[in-house]
């Protein structure tokens, strides 16, 4: 019940296309859902996060869609660029417990 399941494991998208990465969780006590972006040789960096009181959050080309009833959330990258090529991790945590439960990661490649 503590797991966060992320898919796909890898994704190839043409430049200018939409990249979509999905995550699902079981524990309804989770109330914080961040996405992290990791480039080779670097630590993960917080990209965008959402709480379950909203269904969507947009920051530039990055959007989180959240479906509370389905216990799913997804990251959409609009107009994907080669510079977006990285590994993306979804995560979840609950309440005052700041231990994030991580998805397995998605390696995204944007083809020029």
| Residue 45 binds to other proteins (criterion: CB under 8 A) | yes
Q: Distance (Å, rounded) from C-alpha 101 to C-alpha 4?
A: 7
Q: Distance (Å, rounded) from C-alpha 66 to C-alpha 57?
A: 9
The residue among 77 and 100 lying less far from other proteins, judged by its C-beta, is 100
The residue among 25 and 89 lying less far from other proteins, judged by its C-beta, is 89
HSE-CB at 1 with a 13 A cutoff on CA atoms is 5
Distances in whole angstroms, Cα of residue 21 to Cα of each of 29, 95, 96: 22, 25, 27
| Residue 73 binds to other proteins (criterion: CB under 8 A) | no
Out of 42, 53, 60, 83, the residue judged to bind other proteins by CB under 8 A: 42
Contact (CB, 8 A) for 70 and 59: no
Which range touches other proteins (CB under 8 A), out of 18-26, 57-65, 68-76, 94-102?
94-102
| Residue 44 binds to other proteins (criterion: CB under 8 A) | yes
Q: Distance (Å, rounded) from C-alpha 6 to C-alpha 23?
A: 4
| Residue 90 binds to other proteins (criterion: CB under 8 A) | no
Give the footprint of other proteins on this chain (CB under 8 A): 34, 36, 41-46, 49, 89, 98-100, 102, 104-105
């Amino acid at each position: 019940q503590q797991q966060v399941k992320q898919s796909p494991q890898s994704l190839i998208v043409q430049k200018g296309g939409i990249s979509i990465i999905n995550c699902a969780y079981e524990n309804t006590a989770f109330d914080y859902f961040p996405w992290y972006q990791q480039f080779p040789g670097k630590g993960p960096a917080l990209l965008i996060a959402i709480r379950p009181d909203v269904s969507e959050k947009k920051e530039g080309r990055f959007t989180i869609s959240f479906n509370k009833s389905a216990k799913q959330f997804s990251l959409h990258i609009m107009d994907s660029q080669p510079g977006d090529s990285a590994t993306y991790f979804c995560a979840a945590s609950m309440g005052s417990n700041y231990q994030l439960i991580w998805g397995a990661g998605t390696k995204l490649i944007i083809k020029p």
